[in-house]
Structure 1
């Protein structure tokens, strides 16, 4: 539904009397009375006036003539006043219609706003019930739209929203209702035959494809995708109730939309009852993350990094864990995406990095610390300064710190990534490209970006022996590293067979469960102390050296040179 359609709908709802003007009773009464008096006095003085002009009698009575002229003046005044009032009423009604349009529609797209949409959908559901039809309610959210505003400005964001609204209006049928209910959220409702839900799916599939097509904004191709959730009015249970009001269906479509986001975005899902349980669990996780940040429940674990040729321990990769009293030790695959969505990933990351720097400060100075950063943090123009502040607070040497940037984050804003990497390297921090082979970076980007290391993703390493494609990819990356003079680290080493295959590539580091699972800070400290790789302080001298961690096994042929 476009702006002209919406205005026509609103105009049709107005009082029909608005088109003919309202009658002002006072002005109309004055005109009516003046006309009656005009007729009365005119009939009395008319014959006298005619005879006077013909020279056949005296003129009309002076009082009656004055009354007659006064009647004419009153008629002219009353009619003029009536026309002015009619014009004022017309302007007022036009202003009222415009105000109603503004009150019921989104000013940017011309779609219905949330309040008007709810009322219209409830009416559509009632009509559909009479025709034995169902109503599908869609909730569409543009994926990564915030980045468009951050990188291109709000004006470009508005232009992209307008383009998306045009595509939505072009695809949805004439009977559909469309609303912009939030910054980058659109809702739609349409009736359909209960036994033909595939028609809704076809339309929604076209919406997903249309929105994912890059749009030209200020001579720049800008692309977003859409995650869409769908609920249907005839199958809308939550608990033991069937809830088929617009607000209920939007709530269910919202749950399905978030499910689509968690499944990878750029797709759609129908609402199912078990999604509500999943959403409640997510809400509990969100609340738990916020509480956990305040309570210091997010802690660093450490995974060994080994020189594959010598077997020597070279450092650790820090992996964040959530030690929750409610959920136990939670994997980062669960809490990090949620922390990114609710906007606390920066605070969480800084907290565990601060702890890791304090831990690593007590290790042998030759051991390095590798830290992953979220793609969300790459969009923070102050991240480099925040990291430098943490280093200064911990009095930790920058050359011992290595920041890992995932390859999939490079395509989002290569200029900002280049600026961040350069800033980190200027501080003496090393930067590695993580999960190499799984993203979208080109060799030109790899050559121009000043990385210090590339890491082969574990998905290729774990299947290196039995999968020829994985073996070919690992070989290609290892040779690429040699050609670009970039050291290589292989993740996911879990067997001695994989280790032997990797050793053929010479100077390469590795990490994985073959060398032990990630260990807590305390277990790591005790293990390093037993190996003589912990700086001895007065407070540590009393700790027995025979204590060793249970979660981290010593790597093969571990030595300490010098």
Structure 2
């Protein structure tokens, strides 16, 4: 198998550096040995000559080997000069076996914007500046030799010996100091989250939990006694997927005053019958590579409820776009729908993703396969994430649902004007519009006034079971 070119180039470069570093030592050893042998050649036994050259060869090989291998052991990131993720993980996994630690994730959340607007060189300067500012702050607190790692993108993780209670106020002050931080007129937006070894002794699980906290946009989240530790959640997820142990509820979506479809909501059910919210277990589903299997399970659960519906009503399921792009998922859904006409036109797949998938022609082709099989597609979070607006240009769908915050605030003049503009676009493209989080009569009247087709919210119907509606 041919070597990855950058890797081959790196090896070539390492060999050249090792050669340049080892060659003077090799030359000195050869000259010294030759001069001694020329002076005392007649009195030196042949066996000594053989041993001397053998030892010289072994010494030179070992020297080259040490120099070459030394280039492999990088422990700091060349941009920020903080520890690399690999070295930090190895170091902390050893430390966690004998000490308690608190971990703090500090993220430059606008790094992509900085790179785009000011260039990658300035983005690198920001990372270096942030790492040094963290170190300077810790030094001010009389804390030295603290492990700081550049994990990815704009993310830094700090390891502090001790429990979270010892550092909460100090880390909160660090976030405050970063609130109005800028570098050469470049504004830097910082977000932080925190956890400790009470959650887990695995560095991988601790880091995953930090990113979950960060994903909830919490600066200094504190844990409570009701929380389930990461090891337990992973076990519960595996158990629930194998046993299909999920609880499903539904909220009606109304069109012209009548329930048209029911959006499926779900929670994980533990062996003791306790419910775990999806925000807590979905990151574990993703990490364990079970997303496609989970989407298959919830789709099957939705189709099992079709008999509970009135003619013309549908069930909406939030499905990952990555599952829809997976041919195995398509094959599984086709098997469910085969030879069962009553399932056609009864299911809606609701999709959204933060990062735009650039192979939109292939993605659209896959979506059309689902539509031909009798499954409707709803594009979610229009007006909330950039990817949905771009998908609106390239994907053929049936419904478009607005960002939930627009539904919450639709009575505000500026928000209402925004929805009216989006509504005009959606209608021009020939799609049916859908809005959620309508909580009172004023919001309902505003949504009707701008011409939204389908309305969802507690004002019209709470989340419940289909059979009880």
**Does the aligned pair in 2 maintain the 1:454–1:489 contact within 8 Å?**
yes
How many Å apart are 1:353 and its aligned residue?
1.3
**Does the aligned pair in 2 maintain the 1:260–1:268 contact within 8 Å?**
no
Q: Work out the CA distance in 2 between the residues paired with 1:80 and 1:493.
A: 93
Correspondent of 1:463 among 395, 404, 409 = 409
How many Å apart are 1:410 and its aligned residue?
3.8
Q: Which residue in the other structure is 2:248 paired with?
A: 300
Q: Is residue 383 of structure 1 aligned with residue 329 of structure 2?
A: yes
**Does the aligned pair in 1 maintain the 2:377–2:398 contact within 8 Å?**
yes
**Does the aligned pair in 2 maintain the 1:454–1:488 contact within 8 Å?**
yes
How many Å apart are 1:402 and its aligned residue?
1.6
Closer, same or farther in 2 for the Cα pair 1:381/1:416, shift >3 Å?
A: farther
**Does the aligned pair in 1 maintain the 2:306–2:343 contact within 8 Å?**
no
Q: Work out the CA distance in 1 between the residues paired with 2:249 and 2:218.
A: 36
**Does the aligned pair in 1 maintain the 2:434–2:452 contact within 8 Å?**
no
**Does the aligned pair in 2 maintain the 1:358–1:394 contact within 8 Å?**
no
How many Å apart are 1:296 and its aligned residue?
2.6
Q: Deviations over 1:195-253 (max 9, x none)?
A: 2669989x97xx68xx6xxxxxxxxxxxxx35432113xx424899xxxxxxx9x9697
How many Å apart are 1:294 and its aligned residue?
2.4
Q: Work out the CA distance in 2 between the residues paired with 1:428 and 1:509.
A: 20
Closer, same or farther in 2 for the Cα pair 1:118/1:289, shift >3 Å?
A: closer
Q: Work out the CA distance in 1 between the residues paired with 2:258 and 2:162.
A: 60
Correspondent of 1:476 among 421, 442, 448 = 421
Closer, same or farther in 2 for the Cα pair 1:367/1:138, shift >3 Å?
A: closer
| Superposition TM-score, scaled by structure 2 size | 0.64
**Does the aligned pair in 2 maintain the 1:375–1:409 contact within 8 Å?**
no
How does 1:404-415 map onto structure 2 within 5 Å? 404-406=350-352, 408-411=354-357, 414-415=360-361
Q: Which residue in the other structure is 1:156 paired with?
A: none
Q: Deviations over 1:330-382 (max 9, x none)?
A: 33333223322332222222112112112214533311222111244255343
**Does the aligned pair in 2 maintain the 1:136–1:200 contact within 8 Å?**
no
How does 1:520-539 map onto structure 2 within 5 Å? 520=465, 524-525=466-467
How many Å apart are 1:390 and its aligned residue?
2.6
Q: Work out the CA distance in 1 between the residues paired with 2:390 and 2:131.
A: 48
Closer, same or farther in 2 for the Cα pair 1:341/1:408, shift >3 Å?
A: same
Structure whose CA Rg is larger: 1
Q: Which residue in the other structure is 1:284 paired with?
A: 232
**Does the aligned pair in 2 maintain the 1:228–1:260 contact within 8 Å?**
no
| Superposition TM-score, scaled by structure 1 size | 0.55
How many Å apart are 1:319 and its aligned residue?
2.0
Aligned length: 395
Q: Which residue in the other structure is 2:348 paired with?
A: 402
**Does the aligned pair in 1 maintain the 2:379–2:388 contact within 8 Å?**
no
Query: Which secondary structure state, in structure 2, belongs to the residue aligned with residue 404 of structure 1?
Result: strand
Correspondent of 1:351 among 297, 303, 326 = 297
Q: Work out the CA distance in 2 between the residues paired with 1:306 and 1:174.
A: 52
Q: Which residue in the other structure is 1:436 paired with?
A: 382
Tell me, which stretches of 5 or more residues in structure 1 are unaligned?
A: 11-16, 23-30, 36-70, 123-134, 144-162, 176-188, 212-224, 241-247, 526-548, 553-562
Tell me, which stretches of 5 or more residues in structure 2 are unaligned?
A: 1-9, 19-24, 31-36, 96-100, 110-119, 167-196
Q: Work out the CA distance in 1 between the residues paired with 2:428 and 2:91.
A: 61
Query: Which secondary structure state, in structure 2, belongs to the residue aligned with residue 263 of structure 1?
Result: helix
Query: Which secondary structure state, in structure 1, belongs to the residue aligned with residue 374 of structure 2?
Result: coil
Q: Which residue in the other structure is 2:58 paired with?
A: 89
Q: Which residue in the other structure is 1:222 paired with?
A: none
Q: Which residue in the other structure is 2:461 paired with?
A: 516
How does 1:165-244 map onto structure 2 within 5 Å? 171=128, 193=139, 195=141, 225-232=153-160, 235-237=161-163
**Does the aligned pair in 1 maintain the 2:252–2:456 contact within 8 Å?**
yes
Q: Work out the CA distance in 1 between the residues paired with 2:429 and 2:88.
A: 59
